[in-house]
Amino acid sequence: MNAEIIAVGSELLLGQITNTNARFLSNHLAELGINVYYHTVVGDNPDRLEDAIKIAENRADLILFTGGLGPTKDDLTKEAIARHLNTSLETNEEALDSIVAFFERAGRPMTENNKKQAWVLKDSDVLVNHNGMAPGMMYKKDERVYILLPGPPKEMEPMFQFEAKPKLASLLNKADVILSHVLRFYGIGEAELEDRLHHILEKQTNPTIAPLAADGEVTLRITAKTNTTEEAWQLINGTKNEILDVVGDYLYGYDNDSLASKVVELLKQQGKTISAAESLTAGLFQSELASVAGASAVLSGGVITYNEEMKVHQLGLSAELLAEYGVVSEQTALAMAEAVRDKFKTDISVSLTGAAGPDAHGDQPAGTVWIGIATEGSSKSYRLQLSGMRNTNRLRAVKLALYYVIRTLTEENARKI
């Protein structure tokens, strides 16, 4: 089964929002073993939408639409598809009831335009919207499947996952097993990784190996296609071992791991707690850790000292040290890490201080960052010189701090990046 995803919405073509729906759907379709060959974005224009449908019908047998199911005048996906497929729209009573109930719960009057949201394609399979008003649809015609989903991700994602995906899975011939396993690396560039793995990448057929770099991370996705789950894992593990023999030192995790989830996992395993003193990143390091469910078992908290005075008052750093070395310095980073560890009584602590940009901080150019890590009886510091924009630098500093914590917890020396 080959699929195409058509996102409908002029706001996408004007650059007001990003098409995150295509990524979400592609990911889930890959899991089902469905090939996605194209994504298309088209505006709120019925003629151009119909042109896009015709092109998609020439190259896909599953077409997924997102967006254009809402109450307003420019929501016209259903209407355009009904016209193209030569069918009609009818009110779905259950959807209408739930829209009426929604407004009653909210204590707001229901405006007339909301009724349009309950219209569905005649003879379609209705997909219930548990997080919004417009229902989705699955419609079959001439050996082709059309799936209509709402645009807002918080409505679309659960609707696809729990309503559409099971229906799709049961349509597929499940003879083939397709399994993917992702290896996650930090501290090595994409070209270097690929160069060192040249001999393995050269001969790949099944499993296939797809490298990808993003935000300083490199991943390798190993995908095997075979008859049984056992055989697929055998193929994947063989290739994985060959890869790790060469670049295993840079591996930090697998599949849905993130640097933050790995830190939380290692701390839990070791029964340790963590705190942080943040200047540059103003809470982003701790917020990344807290984005992992269950982080409260290991993250005690920390202090954000965004100005110099607070480093003295809240962390007890000496004004002399700050005057002598400056806020952006190795000495300040180490003193911040040690002070917060002491104050929050944790096993490990992290500090981040630097000049995010666009301006320099005194004689320290924009992009200069010091990271401190304190543990029982020892402290380490790392200097980075980043070259991105303000918020790229802040995020990169957080990722590097997480990476150094992983290295510290796994008792290997962090390598210089």
Least distance between its own copies and beta carbon 366 (Å): 10
Give the residue with the Cβ less far from its own copies, 124 or 329: 329
Q: Are 67 and 9 in contact (CB under 8 A)?
A: yes
Give the residue among 336, 343, 414 at the shortest CA–CA distance from 372. 336
Least distance between its own copies and beta carbon 211 (Å): 7
Least distance between its own copies and beta carbon 114 (Å): 6
Give the residue with the Cβ less far from its own copies, 19 or 87: 19
Give the residue with the Cβ less far from its own copies, 28 or 84: 28
Q: Which residue has the tokens 């799709």?
A: 168
Q: CA–CA distance from 396 to each of 238, 303, 307, 328, 400 (Å)? A: 33, 20, 21, 17, 6
Give the residue with the Cβ less far from its own copies, 195 or 242: 195
Tokens linked to 48 = 């151009």
Dihedral in degrees, nearest 10, Cα atoms 360, 363, 367, 373: -130
Give the residue with the Cβ less far from its own copies, 163 or 278: 278
Q: 17: Cβ–Cβ under 8 A, 6 or more apart, which residues?
A: 9, 11
Least distance between its own copies and beta carbon 99 (Å): 11
Least distance between its own copies and beta carbon 382 (Å): 18
Q: How far apart are CA 98 and CA 256, in angstroms?
A: 35
Q: How far apart are CA 205 and CA 153, in angstroms?
A: 35
Least distance between its own copies and beta carbon 404 (Å): 18
Least distance between its own copies and beta carbon 348 (Å): 15
DSSP per-residue string spanning 157-196: HHHIIIIIHHHHHHHS-TT-EEEEEEEEEESS-HHHHHHH
Give the residue with the Cβ less far from its own copies, 40 or 92: 40
Give the residue with the Cβ less far from its own copies, 48 or 380: 48
Residue 184 bridge partners (DSSP): 219, 253
